[in-house]
Amino acid sequence: MDNLKPVRVNRNRLETNLQALAVYGHNGPSKGITRPFGSQADKEARAWLSTLWSRHLELQVHTDPIANLWVTIEGKENLPAIVVGSHHDTVTNGGMYDGAMGVLLATEVLQTIQEHGIQLRHPLKAVSFSGEEPNSFNVSTLGSKVATGKLSTEDLFEKRDNKGTVLFRETLHELGGDVGLLTNAIITNQEIGAFLECHIEQGKKLESKGLSLGVVTKIIGIYREKIIVIGEANHAGTTLMHHRYDALTAASELLLVAEKAIVACKSDEVVGTVGYLQVEPNSTNIIPGQVEFILEIRAVDSPYKERIIKEITKGFNEVAARRKVEVQREVILDQAPKPMNAELMQALEHGANQIGEQVARLISMAGHDAANVSDVTRSAMLFVSSVNGKSHCPDEFSRIEDIAKAGNALLEAVLYLDRKLD
């Protein structure tokens, strides 16, 4: 760190890499990217990234048993590593920034440090986690879950895809992983002292403040219930209105009860969604006999969540009694909010200030690999402003100026942490 001129990332190279990776899984002009875990596009993206790391950075790529991809620049001292990274998979018809940007910023930080001949005290690693997005195996943040001991060989050995035709272990094998050795993918705070994930915000908070960058204070908790409404399927012509037990009109009321309870919190840190709903038998001339839906609530403070659940329970019971339908509820996910590490948050703020950027502190309303990693070691996230807040769609966009700023803030934060952490 004896340079007089500050070290900066290469914006053109960063932009080129973003465009190059976006080729894999691209659905054509004005369309999005489909690169889910285990797809042909996933394999191609992994091959491209491995080539970039092994040829351009001349680092040896390590594929762990869950197929997370790692590279390491060794440190001068025997200290836990500093890790930067994100994921390279996408949702169906998603954008080119979610995940990919974080991996390529990590790449850029390593390459910049390398080409300036900077020798760090800590090992510095880049990582691209496997299967962060929802996929056909119904597991999201797959790579970080396994790496933090939340999913084991036992959980995944017999797992199949949605259609029951593809074995998870075979897909993993094709990616270079090995379901029998998952304990070898587990990370500890002895090996890794800090994890920094840079990601697009996917919301409008930074944009509305006119800021390029934000530091995440907490990753929101996610609560999901599977709800089954059981009415009675019957002939849509011959069954009088007052003889009906229509599961779909009942479910419609339940959705509005839930929406009302969520909106009533009047908080920007509480959202709730029914994204999935299935009608049985789903035939024009048969009164719906059963409706299944998944209600998701994301709330930062638990009292909000409890209040919503109380309101919903009251409303659901009233609707069930009045319409004489059965409402079955099952909690399928109840993930607590994850606070980020204060030292790392401060390092990211310091990094941003070094390049003259003000940052906002904000809550992540989306789940991320950093939420899992925070259970094991210090973790923090840097957000980049999303234009119009759009994400998980072809219109997802962040400006290259803002992305380059994130790269430099991340670089400064790494240099700062390398001095501070032991």
Asked if 230 is part of the footprint of a second copy (rule: CB under 8 A), the reply reads no
**Is 72 an interacting residue with respect to a second copy (CB under 8 A)?**
no
Kindly state whether residue 30 participates in binding a second copy, applying the rule CB under 8 A. no
SS (H, E, C) 195-249: EEEEEECCCCHHHHHCCCEEEEEEECEEEEEEEEEECECEECCCCCHHHCECHHH
Q: Cα separation of 383 and 49, whole Å?
A: 22
Does position 387 bind a second copy by CB under 8 A? no
Under the binding rule (CB under 8 A), the answer on residue 277 touching a second copy is: yes
Does 6 engage in binding with a second copy (CB under 8 A)?
Answer: no
Taking CB under 8 A as the rule, does residue 182 contact a second copy? Answer: no
Pick between residue 49 and residue 406 the one whose CB is nearest to a second copy: 406
Residues in binding contact with a second copy, number by CB under 8 A: 62
Q: Coil, strand or helix: which one is 372? A: helix
By CB under 8 A, name the one of 262, 327, 340, 359 that touches a second copy: 262
Residue 286 lies near a second copy (rule: CB under 8 A): yes
> Does residue 228 interact with a second copy by CB under 8 A?
no
- List, in sequence order, the alpha helices (H) in 61-141: 100-115
- Residue 389 beta carbon to a second copy: minimum distance, rounded to whole angstroms: 7
When asked if residue 369 is in the footprint of a second copy (CB under 8 A), the reply is no
Work out the end-to-end distance of the chain between its first and last CA atoms, rounded to an integer number of angstroms.
18
Stretch that binds a second copy, among 119-127, 268-276, 339-347, 399-407 (CB under 8 A): 268-276
The answer to the question of residue 331 lying near a second copy (CB under 8 A) is no
How far does Cα 285 stand from its chain's mean position?
Answer: 41
Residue ranges in 116-181 assigned as alpha helix (H): 142-147, 153-156, 168-174
Per CB under 8 A, the list member of 20, 230, 366, 421 interacting with a second copy is: 366
Map 333-371 to HEC letters.
EEECCEECCHHHHHHHHHHHHHCCCCEEEEEECCCCHHH
Contact 55, 356 (CB under 8 A): no
Among 15, 296, 301, 326, binds a second copy (CB under 8 A): 296
Residue appearing with tokens 């920094």:
196
Position 338 contacts a second copy (CB under 8 A): no
Q: Is 374 exposed, middle or buried (0-12, 13-18, 19+ CB in 10 A)?
A: buried
Listed ranges 64-72, 196-204, 313-321, 398-406: which one lies at the site for a second copy (CB under 8 A): 196-204
Q: Phi/psi of residue 187, each to 5°? A: -100, 155
Q: How far is the CB of 201 from a second copy (least distance, A)?
A: 7
Work out how close the CB of 345 gets to a second copy at its nearest, in angstroms, rounded to a whole number: 19
234 touching a second copy, by CB under 8 A = yes
Pick out residues in 120-179 that bind a second copy (CB under 8 A).
Answer: 134
Binding residue for a second copy, selected from 75, 149, 176, 389, defined by CB under 8 A: 389
Among positions 20, 186, 279, 421, the unique one binding a second copy when judged by CB under 8 A:
279
The CA distance from 204 to 265, in Å, is 20
Q: Taking the CB of residue 180, how many other CB atoms lie within 10 A of it?
A: 12
**Integer angstrom CA distances of residue 389 from 202, 203, 207, 324, 384:** 5, 4, 8, 42, 11
Task: Single out the residue of 27, 34, 72, 252 in contact with a second copy (rule: CB under 8 A).
Answer: 252
Residues 6+ apart with CB under 8 A from 335: 221, 222, 223, 367, 371
Can you tell me whether residue 99 is helix, strand or coil?
coil
Q: How far is the CB of 4 from a second copy (least distance, A)?
A: 41
Closest CB 14 distance from a second copy, rounded Å? 24
Backbone angles phi, psi at 392, to 5 degrees: 60, 35
Between 61 and 381, name the residue whose CB sits nearer to a second copy: 381
Footprint on this chain of a second copy (rule: CB under 8 A): 91-92, 134, 201-204, 220, 222, 224, 233-241, 243, 246, 248-249, 251-253, 255-256, 259, 262-263, 268, 270-279, 281-288, 294, 296, 298, 364-367, 389-393
